[in-house]
């Protein structure tokens, strides 16, 4: 449909980044302002992926070329007498060796190399890297696809899918509206994303899943559609399920049982990663997370997908069950598997257990068991550094830049200082004082991007409680019932004598620079909007606000008499 044919009076033009979309005033395909940071981060990660992919290809090509060169030199110097007459033969051997190298590279390298694009120059075969293709499986208005096409250099094609006719029509209008670059790179299809991904295995360098709710039904086909070394970007907005509101539903969707601890949002991230890994393992594939974040009302993970039957054996080492005490909220992790080196090989064995006794050693209560969750690192530090450098170079495009915070990469889940004090019914030490005590005891500690009051530490729980016992000795509490978890904990003498002297590393980087680490609410009544096509009623005031709901209902009431008149005339 040409842009001139559109009646722009019925549309609102929304500009985000370098893309513009036409939003119908009836809001048939919704625009969610709170997802701007989601799209900004996705573009930053995608830029880094394009750069890394190119670097990896060049490094692999250089490595294979050197190895092929050594082989050809060895063959050439094998016979000194025949060196001169066999010069042309040596060149042929070198060329053949590099052809074999290129074939191996096509099989092993985590990137797609076109056989037809190989150019033989001076007896050397050079393989050109194809520009990456992106699949946005659930596009709605197409805003994300348009931003990828216009803001990320080097992308050849963005395929936008949706199974809703209104969404696809809106997406095609927006492609036309965004000019020649969008029309040359973005294409929209009306189809079921699951069927499309299953019928296009290993064809897309990047697959983006951003559904309304759970992505669980799309994961099996998504891990098959992405190429080796490709990037899978996945969002989950069903946080009530992932955070323990409906544990049985979470288990049916993700194969993991959540716990309702203070760390539930990070556990949601790790449940999603474990689920993606499980789906990938069925096809001899595995994932490597490069960035995982919890923002606003959703979690977003970025993982690379590789194929290797041998590397897949390490999956049990990356997963753990979680035991959480029902009394004092202490938690302990139980790894699913372990390895045992034997001569030049490695044996894969089940993990040692049990990790905890029947009753908590701190307060004497029982444990709840959850998981399995992804207990390996959820970020790649090299990637995070590269993403930050890219974001820093175009800081004005990323309003959340100054609020990016660092956290310990190898420590799953976190503690809540206020939760510890609530158990003991004591006044809370400042974060700096508590951090200093942990650091002086010889352990590491950091904040977390998930919770402003969360603290990640590799200190075991008995050390944490000893520090709190020492704190209570200096800040006494009122007597409690002897069967309370806090009373049981305080009845024991601390083994470790805590040192609360100010430690050098007790201030985080954000605190030292006096920078806010968490974004303010993006707007009033922010959160997941009403699903496209669902009728808006007065109960949606908490989501959309009274002005938007009343305006929509008044507009509907103006058209209602005519509709009712038609119905009465039909009989």
- pLDDT tens-place string over residues 134-188: 999 988 888 999 999 999 998 999 999 999 898 898 899 999 998 888 899 999 9
Q: Which residues are 367's β-sheet partners?
A: 325
Instruction: Look at residue 22 in the predicted model and tell me its pLDDT.
Output: 85
| Residues 6+ positions from 538 with CB-CB distance below 8 Å | 549, 553
The residue behind tokens 């074999």 is: 100
Evaluate the CA torsion angle 10, 16, 17, 19 in order and state its sign. negative
Instruction: State the Cα–Cα distance between residues 365 and 481, nearest whole angstrom.
Output: 15
Least-confidence region, from 104-118, 206-220, 337-351, 491-505: 104-118
Instruction: Look at residue 123 in the predicted model and tell me its pLDDT.
Output: 37
Evaluate the CA torsion angle 142, 146, 152, 157 in order and state its sign. positive
Q: With CA atoms as reference, report the closest residue to 319 among 290, 359, 345, 286.
A: 286
At residue 124 the predicted structure's pLDDT band, cuts being 50, 70 and 90, is: very low
Asked if residues 167 and 29 have their Cβ atoms less than 8 Å apart, the reply is: yes
At residue 407 the predicted structure's pLDDT band, cuts being 50, 70 and 90, is: confident
Tens digit of pLDDT for each residue in 253-276?
Answer: 999 999 998 999 999 999 999 999
Give the pTM.
0.80
Asked if residues 353 and 334 have their Cβ atoms less than 8 Å apart, the reply is: yes
Whether the predicted pLDDT of 118 surpasses 50: no
Taking CA atoms, 97 is separated from 75, 83, 305, in Å, by: 11, 18, 29
Instruction: Look at residue 257 in the predicted model and tell me its pLDDT.
Output: 97
> Which is more confident, 425 or 94?
425
Structure tokens at 167: 């969404």
Instruction: Look at residue 251 in the predicted model and tell me its pLDDT.
Output: 97
Decide: helix, strand or coil at residue 55. helix
Q: Which residues are 157's β-sheet partners?
A: 133
> Which is more confident, 566 or 42?
42
Whether the predicted pLDDT of 343 surpasses 60: yes
Say how many residues make up the chain: 571
Tens digit of pLDDT for each residue in 485-536?
Answer: 999 999 999 999 999 999 887 765 555 555 455 455 556 555 566 665 566 6
């Amino acid at each position: 449909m040409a842009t001139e044919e559109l009646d722009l009076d019925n549309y609102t033009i929304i500009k985000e980044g370098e893309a513009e979309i036409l939003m119908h005033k009836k809001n048939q395909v919704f625009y969610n302002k709170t997802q701007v940071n989601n799209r900004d981060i996705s573009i930053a990660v995608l830029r880094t992926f394009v750069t890394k992919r190119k670097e990896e290809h060049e490094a692999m090509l250089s490595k294979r070329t050197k190895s092929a060169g050594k082989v050809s030199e060895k063959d050439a110097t094998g016979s000194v007498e025949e060196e001169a007459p066999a010069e042309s033969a040596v060149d042929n051997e070198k060329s053949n060796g590099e052809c074999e190298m290129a074939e191996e590279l096509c099989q092993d390298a985590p990137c797609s190399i076109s056989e037809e694009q190989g150019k033989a120059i001076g007896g050397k075969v050079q393989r050109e890297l194809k520009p990456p293709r992106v699949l946005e499986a659930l596009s709605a208005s197409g805003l994300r696809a348009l931003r990828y096409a216009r803001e990320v250099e080097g992308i050849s094609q963005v395929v936008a899918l949706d199974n809703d006719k209104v969404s696809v029509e809106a997406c095609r209008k927006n492609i036309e509206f965004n000019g020649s670059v969008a029309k040359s790179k973005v294409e929209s299809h009306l189809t079921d994303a699951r069927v499309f991904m299953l019928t296009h295995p290993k064809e897309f360098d990047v697959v983006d899943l951003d559904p309304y709710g759970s992505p669980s039904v799309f994961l099996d086909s998504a891990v098959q559609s992405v190429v080796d070394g490709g990037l899978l970007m996945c969002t989950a907005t069903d946080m009530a399920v992932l955070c323990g509101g409906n544990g049985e539903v979470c288990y049916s969707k993700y194969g993991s049982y959540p716990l309702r601890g203070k760390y539930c949002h990070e556990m949601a991230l790790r449940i999603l990663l474990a689920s993606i890994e499980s789906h990938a393992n069925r096809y001899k594939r595995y994932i490597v997370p490069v960035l995982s974040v919890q923002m606003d009302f959703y979690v977003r993970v970025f993982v690379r997908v590789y194929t290797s039957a041998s590397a897949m054996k390490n999956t049990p080492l990356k997963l753990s069950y979680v035991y959480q005490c029902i009394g004092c909220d202490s938690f302990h992790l139980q790894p699913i598997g372990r390895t045992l080196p034997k001569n030049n090989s490695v044996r894969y064995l089940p993990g040692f257990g049990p990790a905890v006794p029947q009753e908590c050693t701190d307060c004497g209560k029982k444990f709840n068991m959850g998981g399995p969750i992804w207990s390996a690192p959820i970020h790649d530090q090299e990637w995070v550094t590269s993403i930050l450098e890219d974001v820093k170079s175009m800081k004005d495009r990323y309003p959340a830049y100054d609020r990016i915070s660092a956290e310990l990469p190898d420590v799953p889940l976190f503690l809540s200082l206020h939760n510890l004090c609530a158990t003991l019914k004591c006044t809370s030490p400042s974060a700096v004082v508590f951090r200093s005590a942990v650091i002086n005891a010889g352990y590491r500690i950091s904040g977390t991007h998930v919770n402003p009051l969360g603290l990640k530490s590799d200190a075991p729980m008995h050390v944490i409680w000893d520090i709190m016992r020492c704190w209570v000795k200096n800040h006494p509490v009122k007597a409690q019932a002897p069967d309370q978890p806090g009373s049981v904990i305080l009845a024991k003498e601390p083994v470790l004598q805590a040192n609360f002297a100010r430690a050098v590393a007790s201030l985080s980087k954000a605190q030292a620079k006096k920078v806010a680490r968490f974004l303010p609410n993006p707007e009033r009544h922010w959160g997941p909007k009403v699903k496209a096509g669902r009728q808006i009623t007065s109960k949606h005031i908490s989501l959309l606000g009274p002005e938007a709901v009343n305006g929509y209902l008044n507009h509907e009431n103006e058209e209602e008499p005519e509709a009712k008149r038609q119905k009465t005339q039909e009989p």
